[in-house]
Amino acid sequence: MLLIRNGRVLDPATKTDAVLDVLLDGERIAEVGANIDDAGDAEVFDAQGLIVAPGFIDLHCHLREPGGEMSETIETGTRSAARGGFTAVCCMPNTQPVNDNASVTRSIVDRAAAAGAVRVWPIGAASVASKGEALAEISAMKSAGIVAVSDDGKPVATARLMRQVMDYCNPLDLPVIDHCEDPSLFAGGVMREGPNSLKLGLQGIPAASESICVGRDIEMALLTGARLHIAHLSTAGSLAYVRAAKRNRLRVTCEVTPHHFTLTDEDVRYDAHYKMNPPLASRSDRDALIAGLADGSVDAIATDHAPHHAASKDVEFDRAPFGVLGFETALALGLTELVDAGKLSLARLVELFTTGPARVLGIERKIGAGEVADLTIFSTDHQWTYRAADSPSKSRNTPFDSRSFRGAPMATIVAGTIVYRR
């Protein structure tokens, strides 16, 4: 038993915001209340001055196992996730081999059970090898434990294939997650097209590359009635499509990454730590994303944690792979860039890490008797400096190295066990 004393319980699902005790008994929450009497049986965690939230869920990460163990493993990635306050992470299928069949799904689930610091919920490929041709074994993968499908790394190749994927996923009640871009517009680009790409002499990717595909996918969601989730949404145009879809009561959701609400294309320099896909957007796009996070148009903050070992990133900008680390700076960036900046409330930020992503997956996350004992305990004023070199991740590709923050995860609890404590 674990008794969390005197924390400020902030639970968007139950609209709780009060100083309370939370008693965990094994994998479940036993009781939530003021001054719980545990008869001295439980280990006590003093949470005075800290926020006690439902366990954070990350809808989008790359753990690189199987096949990319030079950059990350399920063990190292989930330890990094625990440090970031995440109790469950959804890993994208673009491993080697691609997670497009039940045996790969099972191997990920088994490896996570043996070595994972937090829960790992695999996402299965939509098409075989994510090649955009034949449908993957979606139903068998669902039985093996996938929570969604995606060809992330690239878009579902055609509208026709998207229709097939959605028709297949609809009766299985699986969300289809799409990495939206138009390959003909993306073609060879490395950063957002605009004055800054011209200045740097780097090939640009127009914002429309993303929003065209978002529009296509929403048309398919309208046609099929399936659940559609837009990964790493980064432009005002994409957000306008999602808003319209929500107004029309389609089952369309979206996520935004911390680097997209923090940085813009003005921050890009000849340093591959600023190279990600989708690329950092213009300032007006970034401001639109923040407005969407605040007003409920955006459902979740997702990290798109994308580790790449040093040798692969330490090359010219054009040749470097896309992607940055995300777990350990996500909450701190949210607190600094959104809450402290007065853009959204602390309760809304917590929602974007908890009940928001849970809803996308069709599950519930809340703090109450009988619920799973997954909790994220964090401080809003702990001062610290992020040092990528100290990360349990195998990779160091982040634009936020050496950045100082106010606010941090202090303890991550999964199934009643403290898996990380600052």
179 binds Zn ion (CB under 5 A): yes
Residue 154 or 365 having the CB closest to Zn ion: 154
Instruction: Check if 314 is active-site.
Output: no
Enter the tokens of residue 381: 């004023």
d(CA 258, CA 332): 9
d(CA 346, CA 366): 16
Part of the chain binding Zn ion (CB under 5 A), chosen from 75-83, 94-102, 174-182, 268-276: 174-182
- Nearest distance, CB of residue 61 and Zn ion, angstroms: 11
- Nearest distance, CB of residue 403 and Zn ion, angstroms: 24
Site string for Zn ion, 95-134 (x = CB under 5 A): ----------------------------------------
Residue 152 or 328 having the CB closest to Zn ion: 152
Which residues are within 8 A (CB) of 241 and not within 5 positions of it... i.e. 6 or more apart?
211, 214, 215, 218
Part of the chain binding Zn ion (CB under 5 A), chosen from 47-55, 72-80, 111-119, 172-180: 172-180
- Nearest distance, CB of residue 62 and Zn ion, angstroms: 9
> Per the residue annotation, which of 11, 58, 151, 304 is the catalytic one?
304
Residue 29 or 156 having the CB closest to Zn ion: 156
- Nearest distance, CB of residue 259 and Zn ion, angstroms: 13
Residue 156 or 367 having the CB closest to Zn ion: 156
Residue 179 or 273 having the CB closest to Zn ion: 179
N- to C-terminal Cα separation, the chain = 20
Q: What is the DSSP string of 249-294?
A: T--EEEEE-HHHHH--GGG--S-GGG--SSPP--HHHHHHHHHHHH
152 binds Zn ion (CB under 5 A): yes
- Nearest distance, CB of residue 153 and Zn ion, angstroms: 6
Residue 181 or 265 having the CB closest to Zn ion: 181
255 binds Zn ion (CB under 5 A): no
Q: Count, in order, helices (H) and strands (E) of the chain.
A: 14, 18
How many binding residues for Zn ion (CB under 5 A)?
A: 2
Q: Tell me, what amino acid is at 138?
A: I
Residues, the chain, total?
422
58 binds Zn ion (CB under 5 A): no
Closest Cα partner for 307 from 288, 318, 321?
A: 321
- Nearest distance, CB of residue 63 and Zn ion, angstroms: 14
Residue 255 or 265 having the CB closest to Zn ion: 255
What is the CB-side half-sphere exposure of residue 329 using CA atoms within 13 A? Answer: 30
d(CA 412, CA 375): 6
Using CB atoms within 10 A of its CB, is residue 266 exposed (0-12), middle (13-18) or buried (19+)? Answer: middle
Residue with tokens 């674990």: 2
Contact 370, 347 (CB under 8 A): no
275 binds Zn ion (CB under 5 A): no
Part of the chain binding Zn ion (CB under 5 A), chosen from 9-17, 151-159, 206-214, 396-404: 151-159
Enter the tokens of residue 283: 């300032």
What is the CB-side half-sphere exposure of residue 182 using CA atoms within 13 A? Answer: 16
- Nearest distance, CB of residue 306 and Zn ion, angstroms: 8
**Number of residue whose CB is nearest Zn ion:** 179
| Neighbouring C-beta atoms of residue 70, cutoff 10 Å | 15
Residues with active-site annotation: 304
Which residues of this protein are in contact with Zn ion, per CB under 5 A?
152, 179
